[in-house]
Homo-oligomer: A and B are copies of this chain.
Amino acid sequence: MAKRKAKATKTAAKSGRPRSPSGSSRKQGRAIKGEIPYSTIVRLAQYLRILERLQTVGTGKISSNELAREAKVNSFLVRKDLSYFGEFGVRGVGYEIKSLIREVRKILGLNRERRVILVGVGHLGRALLSYKGFAEEGFCICGLFDSDPAKIGTTVRNLEVRSIFTLEEFVESNGAVEIGIIAVPAFSAQFVANTLVAVGVKGLLNFAPIPLTAPPHVITVSVDLTTNLEVISYYLSQR
C-alpha cells in the first residue's frame, strides 16, 4: 500500500478516563467511532519508553517480536498499533530504533515542549515536581499553585508557589499553559479543574479520587491511587 500518514484521524477523540494502567488507574476510555483505540495510544507511549531505553544499548534495529516481548504484549498488536499511523518498518528486517523513536514522538506530539502547571503542592505534588520523567519528555512544569496561605509565597525547586486565584494573571503574563496537573484533595478538585479550564488549559491530569467534569474539548486523564490498590485487593481475594 502506498504511503499515507494517518489512516483515520478525522474526528479527534474526546476524553478518557484511563485506569492507570498502569493503574492508573484507570483509567478507562474507549475510542470514538472508527477512531484509534485509546489503549493504542497508551501502548505507544510505553513502546517509546522501551525504545528509548534500548537505544543506548541496542543494535539499531528491532522487530515487532522483540518490542512485544519487552512491552509484554503480542507482536500482532505492536504491528497493528503502529500501522494506524503509517508504515515504519522494513519487511524482512524490522524497525530502525532511532527512526521509530522519532515517529512515535511525532505521533504523541512530543516534538515540542508543553507548558504544564501543577496545582496542589502537598506531598504528591512535590513528588511529581521532582519526577525526572516529565522534563525528559518535554513537559515543563512552569507554575505552582496552592490554596494554603502557609505555602503561598514559598519557593519549591526554584518555583514560587502562587495562589490559585492568581492563575489568570499568571497565564496573562507568562503565556498560555496547555496541561494542568491536579494534586489537591477531592473536595476542591472540581473547582480547580474549572479554574484551569477557564484560563484555557486543554489537558488535565487528575490525581484527586473523584471523576471530573470538563468540556469535551478538554482531555481529562485520572490516576486514582486507592482504586488501584482496591483492584489488587479484589484479585487477591479471588483465590
16 contacts between A and B (CB under 8 A): A12-B235, A19-B23, A20-B21, A20-B221, A21-B28, A21-B224, A25-B27, A27-B228, A45-B224, A45-B226, A45-B234, A108-B233, A109-B237, A131-B226, A134-B229, A221-B232
Q: Does B223 contact A235, Cβ atoms closer than 8 Å?
A: no
Give the complex CA separation of A205 and B25 in angstroms: 11
Residues of chain A in range 1-55 having any CB-CB distance to chain B below 8 Å: 9, 12-13, 15-29, 38-39, 41-46, 48-50, 53
| Interface residues of A, count at CB 8 A | 85
Give the complex CA separation of A28 and B127 in angstroms: 24
Complex contacts, A128 vs chain B, CB 8 Å = 225
Query: Which secondary structure dominates chain A's binding surface?
Result: mixed
Residues of chain A in range 117-132 having any CB-CB distance to chain B below 8 Å: 122-124, 126-128, 130-131
Give the complex CA separation of A238 and B110 in angstroms: 12
Give the complex CA separation of A230 and B202 in angstroms: 14
- Interface flags for A47-85 (1: CB within 8 Å of B; 0: not) read 011100100000000000000001110000000000000
Give the complex CA separation of A25 and B15 in angstroms: 14
Q: Does A19 contact B39, Cβ atoms closer than 8 Å?
A: yes
